[in-house]
Amino acid sequence: MTEKSKKTSIYDIAKALGISASTVSRALQNHTSISDSRKELIREKAKELNYRPNLVAVNLKTGKTRTIGVLVPNINRFFFSSVIEGVEDEAYRRNYDVLICQSKDNKDREEKILSNLSQGKVDGIIASVAYPDNNLSMYEELVDMEIPLVFFDRASVDAIQVGSVRVDDYKGGYSAVKHLLLQGNKKIFHFSGPLEVTVWRNRYRGWRDALEDEGIEIQDHWVQTESTDKESGRKMMRAILERGDLPDAIFCAGDYAALGVIQELRENGLRVPEDIAIVGFANEPIDEMVRPTISSICQSSFRMGSLAAKMLFDNLETKEAMVNITIAPELKVRESSFFDRRVKK
């Protein structure tokens, strides 16, 4: 019996039943035009022969893959994996598959990936642009090819006509600083990444405007834009410590950087938030563990993912228009984390 048979196709089961392949195809798709008795017969035979539809053939025929591509800088970072979780959840619900790619914030790699993604394996793409995000020409090509595209988090969308889901970074920065001001802080520094990058620039503007609205004069060294990883956080803090001009508080545009800052401060005998308050743009887990004073949190990254996915799927299926969604950042305030409690003992 084991005739070295490759794979059973609808043709095989048609032959076995002495009927045509199209009848089999229709039966398996539950067409109304097939009698129930035959449907049953065909399904049984299909099971017997252990038939598995070949989705690649279906894709080729229909021109749809029911697959979307997701491009992120790095899967491993909590923010992105949360977004992907949201995307995958929505995709699973609607019977789509998710192809995943990492740009590693490398423009060459990003380009190769986008080129690959434009070769028909996906129906649409959800992407967070690699840094620096000021040149979107590769994405414009996708738009020209009429591949539906949704940005999330990164990339200014003003220049390109696609969907997007983003946090209101300006507002986040502004309200974080406002909060610090209300607590009596005046000298509020800003740690961030390169200001060419849209998100950093917007958070920077929020910070700046909040201070200026208060009539506080900003000095150059108040702004450090090394990067937003933890090591950079330490570095930026170290630079300030060496300079000797300490702030009342710091608005830290990246969550991992905030960790580095805290660590550096503590190793130098400074307490957070007693000596220097920190506010960061934080994601949940870090937030929960070492939450500084408060965090203006990127409204559930999971939700960003499902929003982006919904938009893309709706566009794919009902040609619903792409839109630009801005999520207001939620300001979470915690007077102390369980770690802070230990200090007070």
Partner DNA sequence: CTGTTAGCGCGTTCAT
Partner DNA sequence: ATGAACGCGCTAACAG
According to the binding rule CB under 8 A, does residue 57 interact with its own copies?
yes
According to DSSP H, which parts of the chain are helical? 10-17, 21-28, 36-48, 55-62, 78-93, 107-117, 137-144, 169-182, 198-213, 230-243, 255-267, 284-290, 301-318, 338-344
238, 244, 250, 256: CA torsion to nearest 10: 0
59 versus 336: smaller Cβ distance to DNA? 59
According to the binding rule CB under 7 A, does residue 33 interact with DNA?
yes
According to the binding rule CB under 7 A, does residue 9 interact with DNA?
yes
According to the binding rule CB under 8 A, does residue 84 interact with its own copies?
yes
- Phi then psi dihedrals of residue 123, to 5 deg: -85, -25
Q: How many residues bind DNA (CB under 7 A)?
A: 28
According to the binding rule CB under 8 A, does residue 78 interact with its own copies?
yes
**Applying CB under 8 A, which of residues 89, 111, 168, 320 lies at the interface with its own copies?**
89
According to the binding rule CB under 8 A, does residue 239 interact with its own copies?
no
CA distance 270 to 276: 8
2 versus 35: smaller Cβ distance to DNA? 35
34 versus 325: smaller Cβ distance to DNA? 34
Q: How far is the CB of 92 from its own copies (least distance, A)?
A: 7
What is the per-residue DSSP string for 25-75? HHHHTT-TTS-HHHHHHHHHHHHHTT----HHHHHHHHS---EEEEEES-T
Cis before 148? omega within 30 = no
- Phi then psi dihedrals of residue 164, to 5 deg: -160, 155
According to the binding rule CB under 7 A, does residue 316 interact with DNA?
no
Helix (H, G, I), strand (E, B) or coil at 314: helix
User: For its own copies, what does the binding mask look like between residues 266 and 305, x meaning CB under 8 A?
Assistant: xx-----------------xx--xx-----------x---
According to the binding rule CB under 8 A, does residue 182 interact with its own copies?
no
Of 21-29, 70-78, 178-186, 312-320: span binding its own copies (CB under 8 A): 70-78
Radius of gyration of the chain (CA): 26
Name which of its own copies, DNA, none residue 92 binds, using a CB cut-off of 5 to 8 Å depending on partner kind. Answer: its own copies
According to the binding rule CB under 7 A, does residue 95 interact with DNA?
no
Name which of its own copies, DNA, none residue 19 binds, using a CB cut-off of 5 to 8 Å depending on partner kind. Answer: DNA
